């Protein structure tokens, strides 16, 4: 049984006890930060070639342990095994990508005048702190660790309470390939204890957070008190906008995947379906039919849809579905029938489509974080744009149309960090800048842009 210094790790599909997790606090965070600071004194003087070699070696080691990491990720999060494998592959890709691009990352020379030689240097911050969510543990910490280490920083990570094991295993892998001892550290524990201690630690020079807008605001306040830069990836209520000329049959599989992937527990999930009046009935009918074919079960059995992360999250989703006003549930809306006997205690919700929602209603405005999509209609392009921009979030949107001019025109008007046309990436690839507008956060992860987030510019001016 867990003690005051540990807590239970629960399988969300069955409610079974997977093991106990160390409950770190301020003392453990302090030791981790000091270890990172010590390692960074050496690591900041490493060459891009040295960093590249170790980052690429980490990618290879992750792939060597692919089966083990995917199983851990599936057990902890509940996600289908094939999705867990994809997360391992993306984690490896981050280390590989940043291992390659860091050797081409330079400062600039500035032609100020003939008697002045001016140049800029990109220098690391020092110790970076990372507090990440439970929905994509390996992906989220992989991209943060790879970028931090590539740019000469050292890092301390606090994984989510519910999903600590893959981050701990990643730390062991990073250490095994030859990074300096202390270059990447992990402190497991509760957010209010270990996470708060990391956000407030005076030795942390840069903070990254992935999670809810509410907690992100507290992280930003803690960082502001110490004048520390932050990257915040927060909530979303992303829209799929389907115009009357869209290829509906081609769109529906992506529309469904965008909301059932990871059981809808994705900040960039396609949670709002904004449909032209002329094709509304067709889209709703085909979406409902496709959602009713989704297989549900234990993540390790690799269904299309696994459980939510916890029974607490299950209850939260059910709360949203009990307050939909005059809207109607077309399919789903409850715990699924026909589950295996051992999954009776699992945190499952059937894929759910709610039609006719009022744009200003709670379920249309707030992040449900479950396999629940809400649908509404529009009459013209202006109304479509207004609805797409009609929440406090701005993370991802997608447009479905055969009209290329409309695609460019509307993409410019939609307020989101990523806009897809006739596809939906739910965050996109490693190469694509990712981050939000408004209350979806600020700063950019992924891509070459992330290197600028993890470094600071020093300008050197020499009188000749």
Which residue stretches of 261-309 are H helix? Answer: 280-291
Residue 357 to residues 239, 252, 330, Cα–Cα distance (Å):
14, 20, 12
> Which of these, 460, 464, 462, 461, lies nearest to 122 by C-alpha position?
460
User: For residue 415, which phi and psi values (nearest 5 degrees)?
Assistant: -95, 90
Q: Catalytic residue, from 73, 162, 233, 453: name it.
A: 233
Q: Can you point out the beta strands (E) in 243-325?
A: 272-276
In whole angstroms, give the CA distance from residue 411 to residue 400: 11
SS3 350: coil
DSSP per-residue string spanning 193-238: IIIHHHHH-TT--EEEEES-HHHHHHHHHHHHHTT--EEEE-----
In whole angstroms, give the CA distance from residue 39 to residue 362: 48
**Tokens coding 50:** 């040295």
233 is catalytic: yes
Task: Count the Cβ atoms, other than its own, within 10 Å of residue 2.
Answer: 13
Which residues are tagged catalytic? 233
């Amino acid at each position: 049984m867990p003690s005051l210094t540990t807590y239970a790790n629960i399988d969300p599909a069955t409610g079974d006890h997977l093991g106990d997790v160390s409950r770190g606090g301020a003392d453990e965070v302090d030791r981790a930060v000091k270890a990172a600071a010590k390692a960074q004194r050496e690591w900041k003087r490493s060459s891009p070639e040295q960093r590249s070699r170790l980052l690429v070696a980490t990618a290879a080691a992750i792939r060597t342990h692919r089966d083990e990491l995917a199983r851990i990720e599936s057990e902890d999060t509940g996600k289908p095994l094939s999705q867990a494998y994809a997360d391992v592959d993306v984690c490896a890709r981050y280390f590989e990508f940043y291992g390659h691009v860091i050797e081409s990352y330079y400062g600039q020379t500035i032609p100020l005048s003939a008697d002045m030689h001016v140049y800029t240097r990109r220098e690391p911050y020092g110790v970076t702190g990372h507090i990440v969510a439970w929905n994509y543990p390996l992906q989220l910490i992989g991209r943060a660790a790879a970028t931090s280490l590539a740019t000469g920083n050292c890092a301390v990570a606090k994984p989510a309470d519910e999903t600590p094991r893959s981050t701990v295993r990643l730390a062991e892998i990073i250490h095994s390939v030859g990074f300096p001892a202390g270059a990447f550290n992990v402190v497991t524990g509760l957010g209010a204890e270990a996470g708060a201690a990391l956000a407030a630690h005076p030795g942390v020079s840069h903070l990254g957070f992935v999670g809810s807008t509410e907690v992100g605001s507290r992280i930003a306040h803690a960082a502001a008190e110490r004048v520390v830069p932050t990257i915040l990836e927060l909530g979303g209520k992303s829209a799929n906008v389907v115009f009357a000329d869209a290829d509906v049959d081609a769109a529906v599989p992506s529309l469904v995947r965008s909301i059932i992937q990871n059981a809808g527990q994705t900040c960039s999930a396609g949670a709002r379906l904004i449909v032209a009046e002329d094709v509304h009935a067709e889209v709703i009918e085909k979406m409902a039919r496709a959602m009713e074919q989704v297989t549900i079960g234990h993540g390790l059995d690799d269904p299309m849809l696994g459980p939510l992360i916890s029974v607490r999250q299950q209850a939260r989703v059910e709360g949203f579905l009990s307050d939909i006003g005059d809207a109607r549930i077309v399919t789903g809306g409850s715990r699924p029938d026909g589950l295996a006997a051992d999954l009776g205690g699992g945190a499952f919700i059937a894929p759910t489509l709610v039609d006719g929602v009022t744009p200003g209603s709670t379920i249309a405005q707030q992040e449900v974080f479950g396999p629940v999509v809400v649908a509404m209609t529009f009459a013209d392009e202006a109304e479509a744009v207004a609805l797409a921009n009609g929440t406090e979030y701005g993370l991802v949107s997608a447009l479905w149309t055969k009209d290329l001019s409309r695609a460019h025109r509307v993409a410019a008007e939609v307020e989101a960090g990523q806009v897809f046309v006739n596809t939906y990436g739910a965050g996109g690839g490693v190469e694509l800048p990712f981050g939000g507008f408004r209350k979806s956060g600020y700063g950019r992860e992924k891509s070459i842009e992330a290197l600028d987030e993890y470094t600071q510019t020093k300008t050197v001016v020499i009188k000749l």
